[in-house]
Every structure is written in C-alpha cells, then in structure tokens.
Amino acid sequence: MTSRARLVGFNHIALEVGDIEEALGFYGRLFEIKLRGRGRGMAFIDAGDQFIALSEGRTQAPDAHRHVGMVVDSKSTVRRALKELGVEILPGRGLDFLDPWGNRWQVVEYGEIQFTKAPNVLRGMGLDHLRKTEEALEELRKKGLAPD
C-alpha cells in the first residue's frame, strides 16, 4: 500500500477581486491588515503565519456555498464594521457576508473553535491574551490537540 501525505494545514488562500486597491481598502476597513508584499495585479495580506493572496480579475458570479472561513479575535467587531459599511450579513446562524466581488466569507471567533495557533505565533501577533471556550477545548482534547 502506498503511504499518503498528511494534510497539515493551509499556507494561504487565493482570492480574485476586481481591483486590488479597492480590495485593500475594503478589507482594511474590516480587519487590521499588513501587506506581506505586492506584485502586478496582486497583493499579499499577512494572517499570522499564513496569508491571503489577492489577484485582480474576478469575473465569475458570486459564491453561494464556496467560502473562506476566516478566524478573528472578535466577531462582534467584524459584525459592527460590516454594518457601518452597509454590507449585508447573510442569513444563517453564523456571520457570513459577500465582499464586493462575490467572495463569500464566514467569520468565526478564535476562542470558539478548535483552530489553534502556536503560542509563539499568537505572541508575535500580539494575541497571546486569547483564550478558548470550554467547548473548543473539549473538541481539541478529543483529538489529542489541547494545549497543556
């Protein structure tokens, strides 16, 4: 039997937008962003030890179910920013929205899910104060992934 590679995580997400400058302005009103780099028709936004690669040229219809699950320190802060920008929050139990180019985003809060960052990464991001809920810790314990 051939061995298979194990999925470890994600290095980056690549999204198409209509215009890089408009996209940086839009995302910059929702999130604190730091550019990792730029190229012609491209921009790279840091997300701790990962990044988002934006490229110009989106032409497809808005996404209905395909989405990016974004982890933030404060979902209520994102909700408030979306309302201030007049961005429609999509129906459902979570915090989903479409950006101006039709990319669907699902926003979840770090403390409420099993997603984790290494302590040194959280410290480097200035987020070492974040804590997990007991429900999230139980999910991690079941998989042998709970922090010590």
Does residue 49 lie in a domain region? yes
Residue 146's pLDDT is 87
Residue 1's pLDDT is 64
The CATH number linked to 80 is 3.10.180.10
Does residue 32 lie in a domain region? yes
Residue 9's pLDDT is 84
Residue 43's pLDDT is 98
Token pair for 56: 């110009």
Residue 147's pLDDT is 79
Asked if 6 contacts 29 with a C-beta cutoff of 8 angstroms, the reply is no
Residue 32 identity: E
Range of the domain at 67: 12-142
Residue (of 67, 75, 40) closest to 54 by Cα position:
40
Q: What is the pLDDT of residues 11-61, one digit of tens each?
A: 999 999 999 999 999 999 999 999 999 999 999 999 989 999 999 999 999
Does residue 33 lie in a domain region? yes
Residue 6's pLDDT is 85
Does residue 3 lie in a domain region? no
Number of domains forming the structure of the chain: 1
Residue 8's pLDDT is 84
Does residue 147 lie in a domain region? no
Does residue 148 lie in a domain region? no
Does residue 51 lie in a domain region? yes
Does residue 119 lie in a domain region? yes
Q: What is the pLDDT of residues 59-88, one digit of tens each?
A: 999 998 899 999 999 999 999 999 999 999
pTM of the entire structure?
0.89
List all residues 6 or more positions away from 61 whose beta carbon is below 8 Å from its beta carbon: 102
